[in-house]
Amino acid sequence: MCGRTGLSLSEDQVKCACSYKPASRDLYSKPEWLHEYNDGKKYTPSYNIAPTDVTPVLISAAKFKNSVQTERVLKPMMWGIIPPWHKGNYRNHNLSTNNCRLEGIQGSKLYNPILQSGGRCVIVVEGFYEWQTTNNSKSKQPYYIYAPQDNDVKIDDPLSWNNSFDKKNGWKGVKLLHMAGLYNMWQNEDVIMYSYSVITMDSNSTLDWLHHRMPAILDNEQQIDAWLNISDVDPHMALAYLKPVKILSWHPVSTLVNNSRNKSVDCNKIITLDTKMKSSQKTLTGWFVKAEKRKCDGETSSKSKQPK
């Protein structure tokens, strides 16, 4: 599952951070940024991006050959795909489309046609948030998950990022996460909207302690290139590139992020968990250990009482 993300970079910084080496060149290129449409909604840098917010999404330029010069394009899109068949106000389709399950894409009447028509995209973020249920079921502890950073870079301190870009070396600074997604263009008589869904999959041992689902994260340039290459990589082969990422970093954050109207830098600041919570978690763990020990001891005692 993925319900909130963070991206605080400016438009130009996002272009630099998404720079890539075209096959025919030794220098890095920045993708073009297409501003059109989206009912006047624009990307606003935020440490707490929620569904229906607009964020920059990386896509192939294959569908824009007549208007762009680069192989990749950054297009601001609304989070939450608008179904192609929806009529009327795009805000009122009443479907949950923020995430789409990898296992169900090819059988979905919504997502499979989009996949087959080349609607693959990469959602670029600094990190995403997930909530862990605590002993008190009414309270959930939020965590911020992000790519491992260089030693001198702290994800919750933008002053430490030292972002820079040049054509020879590419982007240096904060490392982004690249989530696989699907996007679609929807229109009625008055409005054209681009929107996307984040693909999710079963969590692996890296994150299953936190949540049973995780975003499909593209971990290297080969995966990103294959997912975006809608001309040469067919949909079935592209899906095979989606694997649970094994290396991530995370830290607990305050419940400020629970309110989507809180967009400030404080949302992803690392916090120290309450000692009572740590103590209760330790007590609970100890209880399970003791219970397991009693179970094992009971089995041993039972076996020792059996006649020879």
DSSP codes, 12-49: HHHHHHT-B--TT-SS-BPPEE----GGG-----EEEE
Do 298 and 152 share a structural domain?
no
What 3-state class would DSSP assign to 235? Answer: helix
- Total domains, the chain: 2
Do 289 and 241 share a structural domain?
no
- Which residues, in sequence order, are CB contacts of 193 under 8 Å at separation 6+? 37, 38, 39, 78, 82, 90, 185, 186, 187
- Which residues, in sequence order, are CB contacts of 56 under 8 Å at separation 6+? 7, 11, 14, 33, 43, 74, 75, 76, 77, 124
Do 15 and 120 share a structural domain?
yes
Do 131 and 45 share a structural domain?
yes
Predicted confidence at residue 153, as pLDDT, reads: 96
For residues 98 and 267, is the Cβ–Cβ distance under 8 A? no
Do 205 and 135 share a structural domain?
yes
Do 228 and 154 share a structural domain?
yes
Amino acid (1-letter code) at residue 14: V
Find the farthest-apart pair of alpha carbons in the chain and give their distance in angstroms, rounded. 86
Q: Please tell me the number of Cα atoms within 13 Å of 185 on its side-chain side.
A: 10
CATH of the domain at 226: 3.90.1680.10
Kindly list the catalytic residues.
2, 130
Do 283 and 213 share a structural domain?
no
Per-residue pLDDT of the chain (308 residues), as tens digits, is 678 999 999 999 999 999 999 887 889 999 999 988 898 899 999 999 999 999 999 999 998 877 788 999 999 999 999 999 999 899 899 899 999 999 999 999 999 999 999 999 999 999 999 999 766 667 799 999 999 999 999 999 999 999 999 999 999 999 999 999 999 999 988 899 999 999 999 999 999 999 999 999 999 999 999 999 999 999 999 999 999 999 999 999 999 999 999 999 999 999 998 754 443 343 333 433 444 444 444 433 333 334 33
- Domain of residue 170: give its range: 4-271
Angle at 250 between CA 46 and CA 97, to 5 degrees: 55
- Which residues, in sequence order, are CB contacts of 76 under 8 Å at separation 6+? 34, 35, 38, 41, 42, 43, 54, 55, 56, 57, 194
Do 289 and 205 share a structural domain?
no
For 186, the token pair is: 């929807």
Amino acid (1-letter code) at residue 24: S
For residues 159 and 41, is the Cβ–Cβ distance under 8 A? no
229 exposure class (CB count in 10 Å sphere: 0-12, 13-18, 19+)? middle
For 113, the token pair is: 């046609």
Helix ranges, 65-215 (H): 111-116
Please name which of 154, 84, 75 lies closest in space to residue 121, comparing C-alpha atoms.
Answer: 75
Do 279 and 178 share a structural domain?
no
Q: Please tell me the number of Cα atoms within 13 Å of 290 on its side-chain side.
A: 6
Do 293 and 161 share a structural domain?
no
Predicted confidence at residue 139, as pLDDT, reads: 79
Predicted confidence at residue 189, as pLDDT, reads: 85
Distance CA 72, CA 60 (A): 5
Do 230 and 83 share a structural domain?
yes
- Which residues, in sequence order, are CB contacts of 36 under 8 Å at separation 6+? 192
Do 152 and 278 share a structural domain?
no
